[in-house]
Amino acid sequence: MTNVPSAARRRLGTLAEYLPADDIAVIVPLTGTAWDAIRRSASRSLAWRFCTLRNLLAHRGRFVNDALGFAWGGIYRTLLVSSIVTTSYRNEGHFRAGERIGGTNDFFTGGFLLPETSVAFRDIVGVVNLRHHVAGVVRLTGQDDVCVIDGYEADYAYVATAFIESIRRGLDLCGLPPESPEGRRIAGQVATILYQLAGYTGLTRGPRDLAAHDRFRDAFDRQLRARPPSARVRRMAQEIARRIAPRTAAGANVTVRDHISRHIDPETAEFLFPGGAIDPELEKQRDDWLERIRGKSVADSKQRSAARQELWSRPDVAALRQAYRDAVTVNTDDETDDRLIGAILLHEIDHAGESLRPLERRSLDLAAGQPLIRQGYRPNEMYVVLSTSAPLVVLRATEPDGEPRQVAMLAAPTVLGEISMWRNQPAVATVLSREPTRLELLVVDRERFESLKDESGFRAATAAEVQRRLALNSALVGTLLDDTAARTGDRRLASITQLFRYLTGDSHGSLDAVIDLPDDATPAECVEALRAQVDEAVRAGGLPANLERYLRDVVATIG
């Protein structure tokens, strides 16, 4: 173990908190041949071990359903991790359980059944990475490469760990002891596959081998028990569990009650479903899901991938995809444009079957000083700026009759007008060019925006953009808020501190001090709560001058 003090270690979020350096290895992608060999061997071994008399009788021969049930059990275990729960909640993953589970199913099933070099597998990985980046879980390191954000490495690795351990628990119940030679052989193969999959989606390091995996599991579980989630986060986790349980139970072809009792480990089941209480409505929802997914197979994920291949070539989608990739090299210090463009791209992909008309592409010539967006006016369009022949500048007047000052200079690709459209408020700044310029734009009109604004990824990316616009360094502001809240005992300031950190992407902080906000609040509602509470704190007075100045900036920026 490292000798970093415990308080500091909690902020690092790395594997080094749980494992010595010798137990940590860089994840090196397997060759296609090696990948195919290990996934085929693991798939055959799992199929053989789950083909028990009990499963043949209970599942009428489809014994793979029991294996899927245990795989889903890994998702539930991750709901003991506060950062995973709050990240999902911030990105509203709890509202779209079907898509969440469907995407996870495609990814993990594809990992065991699809060749690493296949178009379908690469497409599935690409979409997963796009979703994770829009959600703020990973950052882009190249056009198609991602890396887990700082402070999230250990939690991200534990997702793979939870799946591995859930499958091992299933093998144990099917008669294969985890510590037997055969049990460890199969577990080693499963661990290799799942940490490799985590590597495809941004994890750069993992436990060196199965023994290191075991030590990481034990250390992480000790930490979970020593620092359990706050009451608010636990309620969030229980809400997510209730929403996904009907879908995963249907995938395992068992009742919700049987799914929880067999496929979810007892500690996790008690955390998420205290006392084993199951709402009868969940069983009804499970029946509905059973009808919807009946007869589905890995071939369906291939079909979805094939359909996306056609969509990628649609001119507006191709332009969005290229803008998303270009933003990596243009906006090296800020990824909110990348995430916003990615969120729009995801919307087009997810709604491809709904006959949406392609986004309008528009060429626009602006005279020197002619505004594209004018402060104080409410825009009816949002723009993805694909290219511009001259730089765009952002001007903002802080007083009604004051002289506007330049606050930013923009390069394409970028997104403009999203905050005003999102909040349905006048623009807080003017965007123009100081010289004649030609713009190439994709236009999101009000009708399209009404659909887009409800997308979890877009909301999360927009909330991140709101926070990016705050003028001071978030770490310094958080410390100042912490100190002032502790000194004054002001519950409102403590709430503002947690909301601020939550919205700026800190998923590790507690949410137990947040006031005047329901547990199922959307990112937009969190931003509104932050604005209202800041306004109240400023009006109440008594704040340090520098903190009051910053908080007034908050209200001006997001209000």
Cα 141 from chain centroid? 17
pLDDT attached to residue 8: 35
Which burial class, exposed, middle or buried, applies to 225 when counting CB atoms under 10 A from its CB (0-12, 13-18, 19+)?
A: exposed
Are the C-beta atoms of 360 and 482 separated by less than 8 Å?
Answer: no
The answer to whether the Cα torsion of 321, 456, 82, 169 is positive or negative is: negative
Neighbours of 146 (CB within 10 A): 23
Are the C-beta atoms of 194 and 160 separated by less than 8 Å?
Answer: yes
The tens place of each residue's pLDDT in the chain, 559 residues long, gives: 333 333 333 447 899 999 999 999 999 999 989 999 999 999 999 999 999 999 999 888 888 899 999 999 999 999 999 989 988 876 665 456 666 677 777 788 778 888 888 888 888 888 888 888 887 788 888 767 889 988 899 999 999 999 999 999 999 999 999 999 999 999 999 999 999 999 999 999 999 999 999 999 999 999 999 999 988 899 989 999 999 999 999 989 999 999 999 999 999 999 999 998 899 999 999 999 888 877 665 556 677 777 788 888 899 999 999 999 888 776 545 556 788 898 899 888 877 766 678 999 999 999 999 999 999 898 889 999 999 999 999 998 866 677 888 878 888 999 998 888 877 888 888 999 999 999 999 999 998 898 888 776 777 777 666 666 544 445 556 677 888 888 888 899 989 888 877 776 566 667 888 998 887 676 667 878 888 898 888 888 888 887 887 777 666 655 5
pLDDT attached to residue 463: 67
Contacts of 201 (CB under 8 A, 6+ apart): 125, 128, 129, 132, 138, 146
- Backbone dihedral region for residue 458 (phi beyond 0: left; psi -120 to 50: alpha; all else: beta): alpha
pLDDT attached to residue 10: 42
pLDDT attached to residue 295: 65
CATH fold for the domain made of 313-462: Jelly Rolls (2.60.120)
Radius of gyration of the chain (CA): 25
What residue ranges do the domains of the chain occupy? Answer: 24-230, 313-462, 474-558
CA atoms of 171 and 187, how far apart (whole Å): 9
Using CA atoms, how far residue 391 sits from 361, 368, 377, 408, in Å, is 20, 11, 22, 10
Neighbours of 318 (CB within 10 A): 12
pLDDT attached to residue 488: 87
CA atoms of 312 and 129, how far apart (whole Å): 16
Q: Is 324 helix (H, G, I), strand (E, B) or coil?
A: helix
